[in-house]
Amino acid sequence: MAEPTGATHLDDLAAYLAARYPIFGDVVDRGFAAFGTPWANEFEATLATMFAKPEALSLAASGYASFALDLMRRQVRFERERTYPAKTYEEAAREVYHDEAYMTSEYLPGLLLSHYLWPHHYRQARFFDSAFVAEMRVAQASHFIEVGCGTGFYSRRLLQQLPDIRGVGYEISPASKAFTEGQVAAFGFADRYEVLLQDIADRDMASTQWLVCVEVLEHLEDPVAFLRLLRASLAPGGKAFITAALNAPHVDHIYLYVQSAEVEAQLEAAGFTLEQTFVGVAHPPRAPGLPVPLVAAYIVA
Ligand SMILES: C[S@@+](CC[C@H](N)C(=O)[O-])C[C@H]1O[C@@H](n2cnc3c(N)ncnc32)[C@H](O)[C@@H]1O
């Protein structure tokens, strides 16, 4: 069980994973050891708000376990082959973003829990808070856009920390739209946020001073073309928080980034200026020389 924090849902999550998925039996303990009580309190609030009832929590836990186990199997293959299996954007969209049952039972709860349970994901969220949200607060930001809001984790974080801000999410997946709307509403922010079901490649999005795009680039065939669209929507003086996943063979990752320098070169090619950078590793290499999943996050102007 996790350290006693009084965090009932977190204790239940740890107990459920330990009983059903022993391989994940210590993930909550490891999170607590790495990030302490602030992490436990924040995670508990998310679980209690999103998955209040025991059945909802156990479904989220098993969704997370399936999501993580699938990735572990793909990682073994990736370590051998060093490429992602060939897949078009259309195929990924059909197989993943438009498969409502898979998105709802596995992908979205898996991703949401990973923002706390995977140290590189949580460190990226803290970089977002300390570098990007802090700058928005000082600038008295009033509006933001998130492209590819997925679970809604980052939009909700912004709405929570900046009580006067309003936002718009752009998504192509009806399941992601619904999950994001559910999260934002569960936290009481529905009147400050809406999700538009729209691919920004098909129709221009609005202009904004503050743009967020977390872990979308590796889902695309042509990330630079997409980054140019993001750049075009940034108002003069605006800033963006843009991230990519590297060496991470998720089912819907079709563009392989091996080193963060590749993401940086694409951001610059699209017209962005790099201001701040965070690169986090998921874990040490499983053997010398093997690739390690990374996240790379940038604040760009
Ligand atoms: C890994 S998730 C993003 C994670 C999300 N930012 C979060 O923190 O939960 C990728 C999301 O990008 C969305 N997506 C893929 N292509 C897109 C596009 N062209 N425009 C907007 N969203 C897109 C998918 O539907 C999916 O929900």
- Does 53 lie in the same domain as 15? yes
Residues 262 and 133 in one domain: yes
The finding on whether 214 has its CB within 6 A of some atom of ligand 1 is yes
Local structure of residue 74 (DSSP, 8 states): H
Question: What's the distance, CA 36 to chain centroid?
Answer: 21
Question: Residues of 175-186 as b/e, b for ≥16 C-beta within 10 angstroms?
Answer: bbbbbbbebbeb
What type of residue sits at position 84?
Y
- With respect to residue 167, please indicate whether it lies within any of the assigned structural domains: yes
111-146 confidence digits (pLDDT tens): 999 999 999 999 999 999 999 999 999 999 999 999
Tally of CA atoms within 13 A in the half-sphere of 29 that contains its CB: 10
Domain count, the chain: 2
Q: Which residue has the tokens 């607590």?
A: 32
Domain shared by 156 and 253, yes or no: yes
| 99/129 same-domain check | no
192 in the same domain as 142:
yes
153 within ligand 1 shell (Cβ under 6 A): yes
Mean pLDDT taken over the chain: 96
User: How far apart, in whole angstroms, are the C-alpha atoms of residue 123 and residue 282?
Assistant: 10
pLDDT of residue 7: 60
CATH code (residue 192): 3.40.50.150
For ligand 1, atom 3: residue with the closest CA: 150
Q: Is the pTM of this model over 0.85?
A: yes
Q: What are the tens digits of pLDDT across the range 22-66?
A: 999 999 999 999 999 999 999 999 999 999 999 999 999 999 999
One domain, residues 81 and 126: no
Answer with the one of 76, 109, 142 that is the final residue of a domain.
109
- Closest atom of ligand 1 to 220 CA is 16
Q: Is the CB of 167 under 6 A from ligand 1?
A: no
Q: Which of 50, 80, 109 is the last residue of a domain?
A: 109
What pLDDT sits at residue 69?
98
- C-alpha to C-alpha distance for 75 and 117, rounded to whole angstroms: 18
**59 contacts 109 by C-beta, under 8 angstroms:** yes
pLDDT value, residue 1: 41
- Protein residue closest via CA to atom 18 of ligand 1: 199
Segment (H or E) for 152: none
Q: Are residues 22 and 80 in the same domain?
A: yes
Examine the domain organization and report whether 157 and 85 are in the same domain: no
Residues 129 and 31 in one domain: no
* Percentage of the chain modeled with pLDDT above 70: 98
Close Cβ partners of 30 (under 8 Å, ≥ 6 residues apart): 119
Sheet holding 166-171, edge to edge: 193-197, 166-171, 143-147, 208-213, 234-246, 294-300, 274-281
Q: What is the whole-number distance in angstroms between the Cα of residue 195 and the centre of ligand 1?
A: 12
**Do 136 and 208 fall into the same domain?**
yes
Residues 133 and 278 occupy one common structural domain: yes
Residue in 89, 197, 216, 230 to alter for ligand 1 test, most ligand atoms within 8 A of Cβ = 216
Give per-residue pLDDT as tens, 224-244. Answer: 999 999 999 999 999 999 999
Cα(220) to centroid of ligand 1, in Å?
Answer: 10
Domain that residue 27 falls in: 8-109
